[in-house]
Amino acid sequence: MDIIVPIKFVPDLVEELEIDDSTGLLDRTFVRMIPNELDEHALEQALLLKEKQGGTVTVITLDYGDVDEALFTAKAKGADRIIKISGDDFDQGVDNHATTAILQQAISDIPFDLVLTGTQAVDDLDGSVGPLLAARLGLPYVGYIVRVASDNGTLTVAKEYPGGLTAEIDVTMPAVLGIQAAEKPPRYVVTSLVMEAMKSATIDEQGAGERADEPLAEVSGMAIPESGAHAEMIAGDAQEVAEALIGVMREKGIVG
Amino acid sequence: MKDDICVVVETLRGEVTDTTFSMLAAGRELANGLNTGLTALLVGHEVQGLAQNLGAADKVACIESSALVDFNPEAYLRVIAECLKAEPPRVVLFGSTAMGTDLACGIAMQLNAPVITSCRTVAVEDGLPTYACLTCGGKIVAQGPIPGPMCVVIVMPGGYKAEQGRIDKTPAVYALATPAVDGARTVFNQYIEPEVTDVDITKESILVSVGRGIQNQDNIELAEKLAAVLGGVVSGSRPVVDQGWLPTPRMVGKSGKMVKPKLYLAVGISGAPEHLEGIPEAETMIAINTDEKAPIFDVAHYGTTADAVELLPALTEKLKQA
């Protein structure tokens, strides 16, 4: 089975996000971009399928800057081919419509059975990569997937609904799947193997072609949400905070 | 349906989902503001009987076929796209759910309409419909106009309570011709029931709930010990379950369980919208998180930025002595 895994880079939410006063949008100057977590799950699921079924895994990303390490890490984990697409307007972020138009061109000469993406990315505003790419490729899309099995060319997936219920769905390949969680946590790979990949592997670098304008909803402004309410904050060292919290629990009748 | 606001109704095993009612509330807001109709599009098999629940809508349009009994991504996408092409609404609302997100993008692409993700609230200002989205794990609100002539909007719960979309009126119901549904490349087989376990977190009155901020699997034990002295159990957020640190039935949130404990002690949980969907009914919520800007503090009643690894044992010891 030949699988393509597009990796999207998203703002690291551990860092503080700020709004640029001049544009009214997210200030990207100091934002650290990291691979979207669910895309890491998609990669893991692809590697698990490759281990069971054979085939290849191709990892592809747009060059938002500092993406090489993630690509070499994918290589060290077991990807066969790593591709980076460059473009001159990527530094201010690339919307999902543009991303999928670029991906469609980039993979047009790569044969594949499956494209695995994360079901969503934390900064999605104009749809998500998986279903948009499926629409462009004219392929079926199923998201929220937590298991993928293949038997004699029939692909069966488990789609997750609330409360732990799942639906088993057969999918004809080629197809695009949105992964909610891989069957195992994404594997860890030691730095020495990543370093080795950096020495031995080559990133296939391509340029993004022209793309047509498409209807998009304009974002006229961004803001840090101001909530009406905020928790009553308790300061102090662990002992002091523990005392205060137990006081709260007593007051609420939770502990005696 | 043409130029109306259209809500694509979601049903799961014969019942209309709560998210649908949040969408209806959002749709009502737009329809009233734009002085247009609100149509609920109900797709399935023998579903007309469900239309009586959809009183928030002016009309309910039904597409019925025995091939549409359970959600089938490609079959549903095809029939809904055909209907909307015939009578393009001004705004089409889908849920930010396992069903809605399979459909919204593909339908938007077929209709050459823009799509807006993670929309929390909508409004009409000076005759212009607008959206507000919660993005970047709830840390950023993005706003703008809902462009015409047609736009697809994916609505996340949280902005509107389901009750706001439950209106006791009888909408007009009519059937639409069912477009061809054969040859879909996705086929529904069966449901697989959730694992049955001895602990049901939806029935527990005290939950010590752990998130990624707990740092490693060994620290789960600190939460277990605290839960034991409080007479509660440990639950967690998605990342902790995906790491295999807690079993799936302990997951709180959008794809996990909806819980309603007397005490929800959120430990190292940032408060992403997907998690908050699971805890709207917690009576008292205490959040422990070293990131003072974590969105969890906007919904918790009490909070502290103390380090959980020190605070949990301190709490456990003091409660034991008390």
For B154, the 3-state DSSP assignment is strand
Write out the two tokens for B202: 């939806």
The conformational region for residue A181 under phi > 0 = left, psi -120 to 50 = alpha, else beta, is beta
Give the closest-approach CA distance of B188 to chain A in angstroms: 5
pLDDT, one tens digit per residue, over A112-151 is: 999 999 999 999 999 999 999 999 999 999 999 999 999 8
Task: Indicate the pLDDT class of residue B22, thresholds 50, 70 and 90.
Answer: very high
Cis, bond preceding B149 (omega within 30 deg of 0): yes
Short-list A227, A225, A238, A229, CA closest to B288: A238
Helices (runs of H) and strands (runs of E) counted in chain B:
7, 17
Backbone angles phi, psi at A143, to 5 degrees: -115, -175
Task: Indicate the pLDDT class of residue A256, thresholds 50, 70 and 90.
Answer: confident
* pLDDT value, residue A30: 86
B228 near A CB under 8 A = no
CB < 8 Å to A156, chain B:
189
Which amino acid is residue B7, in one-letter code?
V
Give the whole-angstrom CA distance, residue A119 versus residue A116. Answer: 9
pLDDT, one tens digit per residue, over A44-70 is: 999 999 999 999 999 999 998 889 999
Residue B141 has pLDDT above 80, yes or no: yes
Question: What is the DSSP code string of B224-281?
Answer: HHHHHHHT-EEEE-HHHHHTTSS-GGGBBSTTSB----SEEEEES----HHHHTT-TT
Q: Between residues 279 and 318 of chain B, which touch chain A (CB distance below 8 Å)?
A: 283-287, 291-293, 295-307, 310-311, 314-315, 317-318
- Closest residue in A to B112 (Cα) is A215
Short-list A30, A34, A33, A8, CA closest to A19: A30
Q: Do A163 and B194 touch (CB under 8 A)?
A: yes
Sequence-distant (6+) residues with CB within 8 A of A228 are: none
Mean confidence (pLDDT) of chain B? 95
Write out the two tokens for B155: 């609505």
Give the closest-approach CA distance of A184 to chain B in angstroms: 8
Task: Indicate the pLDDT class of residue A41, thresholds 50, 70 and 90.
Answer: very high
Q: With residue A83 as reference, give the H or E element that holds it.
A: strand A81-86
CB < 8 Å to B266, chain A:
none
* pLDDT value, residue A144: 97
* pLDDT value, residue B229: 95
Span of A115-119, A250-254, B106-110 with lowest mean pLDDT: A250-254
What CA–CA distances, in Å, run from A29 to A11, A18, B176, B202, B241? 11, 10, 51, 43, 33
Give the whole-angstrom CA distance, residue B117 versus residue B269. Answer: 23
* pLDDT value, residue B180: 87
Cis, bond preceding B261 (omega within 30 deg of 0): no
B178 near A CB under 8 A = no
Residue B260 has pLDDT above 90, yes or no: yes
Which amino acid is residue A128, in one-letter code?
S
CB < 8 Å to B255, chain A:
144, 160-162, 180
Model ipTM? 0.93
Backbone angles phi, psi at B242, to 5 degrees: -65, -30
B123 near A CB under 8 A = no
Task: Indicate the pLDDT class of residue A88, thresholds 50, 70 and 90.
Answer: confident
Say if CB B267 and CB B311 are below 8 A apart: no
Q: Are strands B128-135 and B115-125 parallel, antiparallel or unpaired?
A: antiparallel
Residue A29 has pLDDT above 90, yes or no: no
CB < 8 Å to B155, chain A:
none
Residue from A157, A165, A184 to probe the interface with B (highest B Cβ count within 10 Å): A165
pTM, rounded to two decimals: 0.92
B15 near A CB under 8 A = no
Give the whole-angstrom CA distance, residue B254 versus residue A13. Answer: 19
Write the residue in A220, A238, A246 that is nearest to B144 by C-beta: A220
**Average of pLDDT values for B208-221?**
95
Q: Do A252 and B243 touch (CB under 8 A)?
A: no
